[in-house]
Amino acid sequence: MNTLSFQYILLGGTILAASLAACDGGKGDTGFDEGLIREDLGSTTTDTAGGADISFEAPADAVSALITCGPYGYDTLATAETITDPNGGTIFSYETDQGTALRMPVTDDLLPVLIPQSPDLDLTAGIYGIRLYFSASGAVTVGCNALYRVQEPTASQTVDIHFVFVGVDGDVPGLNAFSAVDNAPLNETLAGVGELWAGLGLAVGEVTYADFAGDVELYNSVDGATEFGNLLKTNTSEDRAVTLFMVGAITDDDGATILGQAAGPPGAPAIGGTSKSGAVVTVGFLADGDTDTEARIIAHEVGHFMGLFHPTEKDGSGHDPLSDTPECTSDADGNGTYASDECGGQGADYLMWWAASAASVNTSDDQGWVVQRSALPH
Ligand SMILES: [Ca+2]
Ligand SMILES: [Ca+2]
Ligand SMILES: [Zn+2]
């Protein structure tokens, strides 16, 4: 990749971060899970152009593959430049990603690559090749791992949720590990999450609770990418549960307020100790008794974690790879933002819409197909 492309990637990273910010909207045991296969793919080091190659062999019974490479720190961004399938065909190219059935994050510290992301491009058995690209000027060496889901997907799976409360029982009385199980606003929120996920073939499974054991004062307000990544790294569990850190506030590197933030998309379900090992959600709507909005934020962020993208990004620059979700084509006032009131019937009524509006509740069959293949539900 040349210097021109390098700048394009940095711009892409900025756009993606802005979209996540705007949308604002595991625990586990290491080891054997009959639904998952874990494989160490070894390490790879960048060449002088910032590229590095890895390959993996999808097992015959795998329904999804999640490749993770890292860590490479918070000052470097990485993405996949190209991906080839077992037939040697190019199924992803960063420069023309909107023409493919895959999307790749441009992200710091740990890169997750998920296949498939759409029923238009299923995973097949055999050897895939990934050309990685890193923005660092010097050499970068990363370790890569594969997580294959070999469990048959169904439309009646559950998602386990592990809440970690980061000093929020001053905002919402009783929101701590001891009493959360009886907390009425949180239970109303969980019921709402279940209703939003029903169309995806998912239900809320086992819910567990913990109080954050680290620096509560620092992480009660998660400010910027480094704090976000370091907080997620404290989740060392490899259980098939999504860890949700419940905090008082989130701001991005530019100081903008965020309501909820998932790693990726996708995140790193069932993988512990990485900067993509969960999601962070603010408790403001719980404190206000607006459990419908709190539920939409949680359901949306975990949707990202499982591999769902916005149907249309805030600035219109990209769309999800799904054929059955609408794309918004109307920035009617020409201000560069594809607002909810400009995109009625064009995606604004979907749960994965970039803004957390009250109307954003719908899901599609293709979205269900994707999340049912994630390593998270079981
Ligand atoms: Ca679509
Ligand atoms: Ca507009
Ligand atoms: Zn979002």
Whether the pLDDT of residue 226 is over 80: the answer is: yes
Contacts of residue 298, Cβ cutoff 8 Å, sequence gap at least 6: 189, 193, 244, 260, 281
154-371 CATH fold: Collagenase (Catalytic Domain) (3.40.390)
As a whole number of angstroms, the distance between CA 145 and CA 112 comes to: 10
Q: 137 φ, ψ to 5°?
A: -80, -30
Ligand 1 geometric centre to CA of 364 (Å):
10
Segment among 31-35, 87-91, 116-120, 310-314 with least mean pLDDT:
31-35
- The Å distance, Cα 352 to ligand 2 centre, comes to 18
Give residue 338 CA to ligand 2 midpoint distance, Å: 5
* Rounded Cα distance, 357 and 340, in Å: 7
pLDDT at residue number 2: 34
Radius of gyration of the chain (CA): 19
Ligand nearest to the CA of 265: 3
Q: In Å, how far are 163, 275, 329, 354, 372 from 212, measured between CA atoms?
A: 9, 16, 43, 29, 30
CA distance 369 to 358: 24
CA triple 223-224-226, angle to 5 deg: 110
Question: In the predicted model, what is the mean pLDDT of residues 213-241?
Answer: 97
Other beta carbons less than 10 A from residue 251's beta carbon:
16
Nearest ligand (C-alpha, residue 324)? 1
Confidence of residue 223 (pLDDT cuts 50, 70, 90): very high
Kindly identify the ligand whose nearest atom is closest to the C-alpha of 320: 1
Over residues 306-331, the pLDDT tens digits come to 999 999 999 999 999 999 999 999 99
Question: Which SS3 state, helix, strand or coil, does residue 37 take?
Answer: strand
Report pLDDT for 20.
Answer: 34
- Interval between CA 310 and ligand 3 midpoint (Å): 6
- The number of the ligand nearest the C-alpha atom of 318 reads 1
Asked if 314 contacts 354 with a C-beta cutoff of 8 angstroms, the reply is yes
Kindly give the distance from the C-alpha atom of residue 182 to the centroid of ligand 3, in angstroms, as a whole number. 29
Q: How far is the CA of 355 from the centre of ligand 3 (A)?
A: 7
- Residues in Cβ contact with 180 at an 8 Å cutoff, skipping those fewer than 6 apart: 163, 165, 174, 186, 209
Amino acid 12: pLDDT: 31
Q: In this structure, are residues 54 and 32 in contact, taking their beta carbons and an 8 Å threshold?
A: no
Which of these, 269, 270, 260, lies nearest to 296 by C-alpha position? 260
The CA distances from residue 273 to 29, 82, 245, 247, in Å, are 12, 27, 14, 19
Supply the pLDDT for residue 217: 97
d(C-alpha 302, C-alpha 370), whole Å: 13
Report the pLDDT value the prediction gives residue 356, as an integer from 0 to 100. Answer: 81
E strand spans, the chain: 36-45, 51-58, 64-70, 77-84, 90-93, 107-108, 111-115, 126-134, 141-149, 157-165, 202-211, 221-223, 241-247, 249-251, 257-258, 260-262, 279-282
Nearest ligand by distance to the CA of 366: 1
Ligand 2 centroid to Cα of residue 356, in Å, is: 16
Separation of CA 325 and ligand 1 centre (Å): 4
For residue 181, give Cα distances in angstroms to 175, 207, 285: 9, 9, 18
What global pTM score does this model have? 0.91
Please give the Cα distance from 377 to 23 (Å, whole number): 23
- Domain-by-domain residue ranges, the chain? 3-16+29-149, 154-371
Question: Are 23 and 354 in contact, with CB atoms under 8 Å apart?
Answer: yes
Give the ligand with the smallest distance to the CA of 328: 1
**Residues making up the chain, counted from first to last:** 378
Of the ranges 7-16, 32-41, 267-276, 282-291, which one carries the lowest mean pLDDT score? 7-16
Residue 53: pLDDT band with limits 50, 70, 90 = very high
Per the structure block, which two tokens stand in for 171?
């905002």
Q: Order of strands, edge to edge, in the sheet holding 221-223?
A: 221-223, 249-251, 257-258
Q: What is the DSSP string of 237-284?
A: --SSEEEEEEESEEE-TT--EESEEESSSS--TT--SSTTS-EEEE-H
Looking at all shown ligands, the one closest to residue 355's CA atom is 3
pLDDT of the residue at 32: 56
Average pLDDT score over residue span 166-173: 97
Distance 301 CA to ligand 3 centre (A): 6
CA separation for the pair 323, 147 (Å, rounded): 26
Ligand nearest to the CA of 264: 3
3-16+29-149: in CATH 2.60.120.380: yes
Nearest Cα residue to 262 out of 308, 205, 211: 308
Question: Are 161 and 209 within 8 A, CB to CB?
Answer: no
| Lookup result for tokens 């049912």 | 372
- Ligand 1 centroid to 151 CA: how many Å? 26
Q: pLDDT of 11-32, one tens digit each?
A: 333 333 333 333 333 334 444 5
